[in-house]
Amino acid sequence: MTVGYDEIARHCETLSYRDKFRLAQLLIQLARREEEEQSPERRAGKSADQGTVEYVAERLLKSKPGRKPALLNFIGAMFQFQGGISEVDRESLVAELQRQKWLTIDRSGHVSYSERRLR
């Protein structure tokens, strides 16, 4: 059973404003994921480019999540309105942050931020 746009629009009118925002966010995320799946070459290499790394680093230095799971969650939240970021891309971004010495993660998962990069 396929439901058309007009029928969905009618049902959406009955939603509260918060549910309309949540639905809009979901639809944007789904559309971006679908676009990325259809055109993966547009996304290739994008997750860890220098501009993205610096943007993420600046935000991390303000918040400073203390453990690796919190760090990954924080990065995921940063990209939630742009269609999300995959777990692989999050890990790649963390690896690049470590490579550029923005942060280190010890064996127990504790995150330390470089004092040298803070200046």
Domain coordinates of the chain in residue numbers?
A: 1-44, 45-119
The C-alpha atoms of residue 106 and residue 68 are separated, in whole angstroms, by 9
Question: Is it true that domain 45-119 has CATH number 1.10.10?
Answer: yes
Tens digits of per-residue pLDDT, 43-86?
444 445 678 888 899 889 889 999 999 999 999 998 887 777 88
Roughly what angle, to the nearest 10 degrees, separates helices 68-78 and 50-63?
A: 120
Mean pLDDT, residues 103-109? 94
The amino acid at residue 70 is A
48 bridge partner residues: none
Give pLDDT, residue 38: 77
Contact indicator for 89, 33 with CB cutoff of 8 Å: no
Three-state DSSP state, 108? coil
The C-alpha atoms of residue 102 and residue 116 are separated, in whole angstroms, by 8
Q: Name which residue leads in pLDDT, 119 or 98.
A: 98
Q: Which residues contact 117 (CB under 8 A, 6 or more apart)?
A: 57, 61, 101, 102
- Total Cβ atoms within 10 A of residue 83: 16
The whole model's pTM is what?
A: 0.59
